Amino acid sequence: LRNRNSDGALCLTNCHHSTNPAIKGHALYPSIHQFKKSPVARTTQSFSTHFVFEIESEFQEPGGLGFAFVVSPSTNFSDATGGPYLGLFNESNNGHPTNHIFVVEFDTVQQADLDDIDGNHVGIDVNPV
């Protein structure tokens, strides 16, 4: 991976100290994981993962809005915006039933308009954030 800091940690957004407040970053698994053996299969295959993370801000105020672990049929998030949509959606497609996306969000800022419970939570989302 190219986006690593001097300690070797993956750096998704601030590696180059961008001044863009809505910056987004992605780290995607390069291979497709087939959850069904065939389109008509009734059972799905499972997987497990584990990882360690730290969300670190250069500023006293909350920096960034967290990150998400995503299961998606697409790796194209070019129309997505950063901020409350975590680089996955935008205002017009958030919650659209054709998204077919599963998200575990590690959120660091409360967004009342997105029904966040507080500024430090883990959320499970299907289609919207």
Residue 15 lies in a domain: no
Strands 121-126 and 102-107: antiparallel
Listed in sequence order, the residues at least 6 apart from 100 whose beta carbon sits closer than 8 Å to its beta carbon are 72, 73, 127
Residue 33 lies in a domain: yes
Number of domains in the chain: 1
More confident of the two residues 79 and 15: 79
pLDDT category of residue 22 using cuts at 50, 70 and 90 = low
Can you tell me the distance from the alpha carbon of 66 to that of 120, in angstroms, rounded to the nearest whole number?
Answer: 9
The pLDDT assigned to 19 comes to 62
Residue 95 lies in a domain: yes
The pLDDT assigned to 61 comes to 63
Residue 53, domain extent: 24-129
Residue 79 lies in a domain: yes
Residue 49 lies in a domain: yes
Residue 98 lies in a domain: yes
Tokens of 9: 């940690």
The pLDDT assigned to 18 comes to 58
Residue 16 lies in a domain: no
Can you tell me the distance from the alpha carbon of 88 to that of 26, in angstroms, rounded to the nearest whole number?
Answer: 9
Strands 102-107 and 67-71: antiparallel
Whichever domain contains 74, its CATH number is 2.60.120.200
pLDDT digits 0-9 by tens, 38-76: 889 889 888 888 888 877 766 666 556 778 888 888 888
More confident of the two residues 73 and 9: 73
Residue 45 lies in a domain: yes
Q: Is the dihedral of CA 55, 104, 84, 118 positive or negative?
A: negative
The alpha carbons of the chain give a radius of gyration, in whole angstroms, of 16
